[in-house]
Each structure stands twice: as C-alpha cells, then as structure tokens.
C-alpha cells in the first residue's frame, strides 16, 4: 500500500492573546494529497489555527513543520513562497480592484513564464470570472467573490491550500458548487486543510477530520467515522 508523505504537522501548538489561551496544545497532521477538515463551533479557534499556520499569528509554544521544515514564526510571505496558500474567511476582496488584478496579485511571488497560462486555467475553472475579468471585484456576487478568492490563492501554485469558511454567507446552491470546486482542487493534486462551519459539507468532502473545541483537539478520525459518530452527529450535524 502506498504510504502518503507527511506535508504539514502541528505539534503541541499553544497560542495566547494576552492571558487567554486561544489554542491549547493543538496537534494535527495533513498528508500529501489529503483533504482534511477542521470542524467546531464558532469561537473554537479554527481560524486561529489557519492564521498560525500561515504566519499571521505566532504560536507561544509548539512546532509547525511543512515538508519536514519548521515554519512557526516565519513571515507570511516566506510561507507563501514555500507553497502554502491561505484563502481567508470572508474572502478579503479589494472592491476597487478588478478580477484580473486580483489574480495577478495572487501570482506576485512568481517569476516564471506560466502566469498567463495559469490564469487561463483559472478562467476555465471559473468561466464567470473570465466574463468579468475587467469588472471591479466589489460588484461581484458573494459566490463570485468566493470563486475569485479561490482563484487568487491558486495563482501562487500552492501545494497546500488553507480554506477558511468558504461557504460562509452563500446560498445553498452556491455552497454545493464551492464544495465541488474544493474537491476538484484536491483531485488535481493539491493538498487541502478545510475549516468549515458547515460540518456536513466538510465531512462529505474530507478524507479525515479533527474536532476543535475551545482551542483543543477533542476528536480525530476518518471523515466517514465522524459522520457516524453519535456525538459529532448531535453536536455538528443537527442530529
């Protein structure tokens, strides 16, 4: 049986804000080619985990390794250059920049000659963005802005994509569309760590999952086992 390579590892990561311990001894792993979900209630610390991985926040203790190299405390730009893209909560779109300018910004770390070809691939994946390439991002619908945020993240050619609440505020039909697109990103070779308030969506997409409660990992296992777990079903799946 083929053994997957370890891509990302958090070991005993703790983070404080003032005297408050926001993350408490968090350990998790993501192997190459996996889609791993991190679920939990609002305020559990899910977004903080992603921001700590991407260098926006600095852990108090613990280690974060990417492809075997420690990255905790590194500058966010350096982490992007290693191959980690962060698609943030609430999309963080600049309303007065065009669709194309957002995608060009996503490729700012690159100096190869394939940026235009990659942009065309983004347009093939999200045809509505091609139709609106000169349109200001602030005039797009919420679903279109989420597509743009995903496309911008992919323009850096990441090997690991961190998604933070990609379904937030979207209509149900668009939630399913975004879910299909995230699964497709994994199927095309990228590795995904997905934070998602919609636990049903996250567990349907994921290979494995972690439950985060008040800054601590309380449960982990295959996604299907999580779906069948009565406690998870009761707390997060409405059962």
Q: pLDDT per position in the chain (239 positions), as tens? A: 456 799 999 999 999 988 899 999 999 999 999 999 999 998 899 999 999 999 999 999 999 999 999 999 899 989 999 999 998 877 678 889 999 999 998 888 777 778 888 899 889 888 999 999 999 999 998 888 888 988 988 888 899 999 999 888 888 888 888 898 899 889 888 999 999 989 999 999 999 999 999 999 999 999 999 999 999 988 888 75
Angle at which helices 142-154 and 99-106 pack, to 10 degrees? Answer: 30
* Contact between 13 and 185 (Cβ < 8 Å): no
Q: Rounded to 10 degrees, what is the CA torsion of 214, 216, 218, 222?
A: 110
Task: Name the residue ranges covered by the structural domains of the chain.
Answer: 6-89+158-236
CATH of 6-89+158-236, one of 3.40.50.300, 2.60.40.420, 3.30.360.10, 3.40.190.10: 3.40.50.300
Q: Is 186 helix (H, G, I), strand (E, B) or coil?
A: helix
Task: At 148, list the tokens.
Answer: 């743009």
| pTM for the whole structure | 0.90
């Amino acid at each position: 049986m083929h053994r997957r390579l370890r891509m990302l590892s958090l070991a005993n990561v703790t983070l404080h804000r003032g005297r408050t311990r926001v993350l408490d001894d968090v350990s998790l792993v993501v192997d190459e080619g996996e889609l791993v979900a991190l679920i939990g209630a609002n305020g559990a610390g899910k977004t903080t985990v992603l921001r700590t991985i991407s260098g926006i926040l600095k852990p108090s203790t613990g280690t974060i390794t990417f492809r075997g190299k420690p990255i905790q405390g590194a500058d966010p730009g350096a982490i992007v250059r290693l191959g980690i893209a962060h698609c943030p909560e609430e999309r963080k779109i600049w309303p007065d920049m065009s669709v194309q300018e957002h995608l060009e910004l996503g490729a700012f770390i690159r100096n190869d000659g394939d940026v235009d070809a990659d942009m065309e691939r983004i347009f093939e994946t999200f045809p509505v963005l091609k139709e609106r390439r000169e349109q200001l991002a602030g005039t797009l619908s919420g679903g279109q802005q989420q597509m743009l945020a995903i496309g911008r993240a992919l323009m850096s050619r990441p090997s690991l994509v961190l998604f933070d609440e990609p379904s937030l505020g979207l209509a149900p039909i668009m939630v399913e569309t975004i879910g299909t697109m995230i699964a497709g990103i994994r199927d095309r070779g990228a590795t995904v760590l997905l934070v998602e308030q919609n636990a049903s969506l996250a567990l349907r997409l994921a290979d494995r999952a972690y439950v985060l409660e008040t800054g601590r990992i309380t449960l982990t296992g295959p996604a299907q086992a999580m779906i069948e777990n009565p406690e998870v079903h009761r707390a997060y799946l409405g059962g």
